[in-house]
C-alpha cells in the first residue's frame, strides 16, 4: 500500500493496475480538493465515513450536495468537480488508471495542473 500525503489530508493507494486504481482518500474537516476535471480519468466516489460537500457541474452549472456514509457519485470526464470535508472524512475512489490526468481550475493550496 502506498501513502501519498496531501495538503488536505492523504491518500492510501490500495490497488493499482493497468486497468484501475483504488484509493482511500482521507480529507481533514474544512479542507478541500481542487476544483478540477479529468480528460480521460473516470471515477466513482463512495463516502465511507464523515460528511462531504460534493460539487459537480451539471448542464454547465456547479451544483452542490452533501454526501454521507454509504452514498456514492460517478464522475465521468470532463465533469468539473470538487469535494470539501464537512467532517473528517474517508472516501473510497475507484478510477481508471490515469492518475496524472488532473486539470485544476481552483486550488486553495497554490497547486497547478
Instruction: CATH number of the domain at 71, please.
Output: 2.60.120.10
Going by pLDDT thresholds of 50, 70 and 90, the confidence category of residue 37 is very high
Residue 112 lies in a domain: no
Total domains in the chain come to 1
pTM: 0.93
Question: DSSP letters along 55-101, please?
Answer: EEEETTEEEEEEE-TT-EEEE-TT--EEEEESSSEEEEEEE-S-TT-
Give the residue numbers spanning the domain of 99. Answer: 2-106
Instruction: Give tens-digit pLDDT for 64-99.
Output: 999 999 999 999 999 999 999 999 999 999 999 999
Amino acid at each position: 500500500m502506498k501513502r501519498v500525503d496531501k495538503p488536505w489530508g492523504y491518500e492510501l493507494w490500495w490497488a493499482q493496475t493497468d486497468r484501475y486504481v483504488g484509493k482511500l482518500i482521507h480529507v481533514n474537516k474544512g479542507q478541500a480538493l481542487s476544483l478540477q476535471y479529468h480528460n480521460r480519468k473516470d471515477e466513482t466516489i463512495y463516502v465511507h465515513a464523515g460528511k462531504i460537500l460534493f460539487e459537480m457541474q451539471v448542464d454547465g452549472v456547479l451544483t452542490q450536495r452533501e454526501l454521507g456514509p454509504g452514498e456514492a457519485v460517478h464522475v465521468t470526464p470532463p465533469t468539473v468537480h470538487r469535494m470539501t470535508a464537512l467532517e473528517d472524512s474517508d472516501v473510497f475512489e475507484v478510477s481508471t488508471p490515469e492518475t496524472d490526468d488532473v486539470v485544476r481550475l481552483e486550488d486553495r493550496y497554490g497547486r497547478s495542473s
